[in-house]
């Protein structure tokens, strides 16, 4: 089994050492689609899966979820988190065994999720879950210093509830001068690039596990597509995710890295538990996260 390069005490020590005053932001990959961002002392968790709930659930079935990478951290030990996201209802993105301990450790925790999924999430998490902040495509929500913008995701299709609200979302999150795009689980679709290009993206977090029908689960971008998408949205840096968690649903990042190199797209492959720092003094990907005036005129800014 893959051992995170930092886990438990060493990971917590690294998080605690993150400089809260320089203006830089810090990002750790926690496995699957889970990322921790720290900026000026504030904490944001994208789609964490920090339990073995799926391995237990599917043990002995036709589709066992055999874990490839050890858990980086017990969510009950992860403090200083203001807000967490759930891009959709699948358990590796909405896990009660992750979110309930996380809420216990962070009593004021907020959960940003698709408006279409609020009722489902309330049933899964119960009364002890985080306060929910609904989001939809074309809307925004503010939690502390973070502003979340809903982006259409197709997993495998673009699905909406009876009120027209999307069940699958990506997120562009702006804070200070930065904009980070976490796509959630998605395939390429016709409005994806147009929606995200409203912002100069400093960091894109994109899945690379692909879409193979024989796996029996909804798929994602593959490595080639993720690299092309990063280039198409002019991301200053792209980090791949959604691999090396379950044996039946993974890919290696080779196709992703090779395509990035051919395209001249700046990329970084993190190990689970590894940190990267982005900021004005540490990284050239810092920029102005405000939408451009032409995009305002097109009605994109809401």
Q: What is the pLDDT of residue 245?
A: 87
Report in angstroms the alpha-carbon separations of 92 from 28, 139, 242. 17, 24, 10
pLDDT of 216 reads: 85
Is 300 a residue whose pLDDT tops 70?
no
What pLDDT, on a 0 to 100 scale, did the predictor assign at position 273?
98
Segment 1-7 mean pLDDT: 96
Query: What phi and psi values does residue 228 have, to the nearest 5 degrees?
Result: -65, -40
> Please, are residues 220 and 188 in contact by the beta-carbon 8 Å criterion?
no
The residue with greater pLDDT, 23 or 268, is 268
pLDDT at 292 over 60: no
Q: Are 119 and 145 in contact (CB under 8 A)?
A: no
Q: In whole angstroms, give the CA distance from residue 220 to residue 216.
A: 13
In this structure, what token pair is assigned to residue 58? 């599917």
Tokens 């998490």, residue located: 125
The 238-241 sheet, strands edge to edge = 140-143, 146-152, 169-175, 178-182, 203-207, 238-241
What domains, with CATH codes, occur in the chain?
8-297 (3.60.15.10)
127-155, pLDDT tens digit by residue? 999 999 999 999 999 999 999 999 999 99
Average of per-residue pLDDT across 258-287: 85
The model's pLDDT over 42-89, given as tens digits with 9 standing for 90+, comes to 999 999 999 999 899 889 898 899 999 999 999 999 999 999 999 999
pLDDT at 301: 25
**Confidence tier at 247 by pLDDT (50, 70, 90):** confident
Which residues are paired to 174 by β-bridges? 147, 179
Phi and psi, residue 57, nearest 5°: -60, -40
Tell me if 12 sits within 8 A of 73, measured CB to CB.
Answer: yes
Sign (positive or negative) of CA dihedral 96, 102, 107, 112: negative
Q: What is the 3-state secondary structure (H, E, C) of 185-209?
A: CCCCCCCHHHHHCCCCCCEEEEECE
Q: What integer pLDDT is reported at residue 19 of this predicted model?
A: 81
**pTM above 0.75?**
yes
Q: What pLDDT shows up at residue 184? A: 96
SS3 content of the chain, % helix, strand, coil (to 5): 25, 25, 50
Give me the mean pLDDT over the 204-220 stretch. 92
Greatest CA separation found in the chain? Answer: 56
Residue 171 has a pLDDT of 98
* pLDDT, tens only, 151-160: 999 998 999 9
| pLDDT above 80: residue 299 | no
CB burial of 211-244 (b: ≥16 within 10 Å; e: otherwise) equals beeeeebbbbbbbbbbbbbbbbbebbbbbbbbbb
């Amino acid at each position: 089994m893959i051992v995170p390069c930092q886990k438990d005490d060493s990971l917590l020590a690294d998080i605690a050492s993150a400089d809260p005053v320089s203006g830089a932001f810090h990002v750790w990959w926690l496995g699957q689609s889970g990322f921790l961002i720290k900026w000026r002392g504030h904490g944001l968790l994208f789609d964490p899966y920090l339990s073995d709930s799926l391995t237990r659930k599917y043990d002995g079935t036709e589709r066992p979820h055999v874990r490839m990478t050890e858990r980086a951290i017990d969510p009950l030990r992860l403090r200083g988190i203001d807000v967490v996201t759930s891009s959709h209802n699948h358990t590796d993105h909405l896990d009660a065994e992750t979110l309930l301990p996380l809420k216990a450790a962070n009593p004021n925790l907020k959960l940003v999720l698709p408006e279409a999924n609020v009722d489902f999430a309330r049933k899964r998490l119960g009364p002890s879950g985080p306060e929910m902040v609904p989001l939809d495509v074309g809307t925004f929500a503010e939690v502390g210093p973070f502003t979340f913008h809903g982006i259409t995701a197709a997993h495998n299709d673009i699905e909406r509830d009876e009120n027209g609200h999307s069940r699958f979302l990506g997120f562009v999150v702006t804070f200070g001068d930065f904009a980070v795009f976490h796509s959630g689980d998605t395939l390429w679709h016709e409005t994806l690039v147009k929606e995200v290009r409203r912002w100069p993206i400093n960091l894109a977090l994109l899945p690379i596990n692909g879409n193979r029908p024989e796996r029996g689960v909804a798929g994602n971008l593959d490595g080639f597509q993720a690299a092309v998408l990063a280039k198409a949205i002019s991301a200053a840096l792209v980090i791949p995710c959604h691999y090396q968690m379950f044996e039946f649903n993974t890919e290696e990042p080779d196709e992703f890295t090779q395509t990035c190199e051919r395209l001249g797209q700046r990329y970084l492959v993190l190990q689970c538990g590894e940190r990267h720092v982005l900021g004005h003094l540490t990284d050239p990907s810092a920029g102005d996260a405000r939408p451009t005036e032409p995009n305002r005129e097109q009605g994109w800014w809401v």
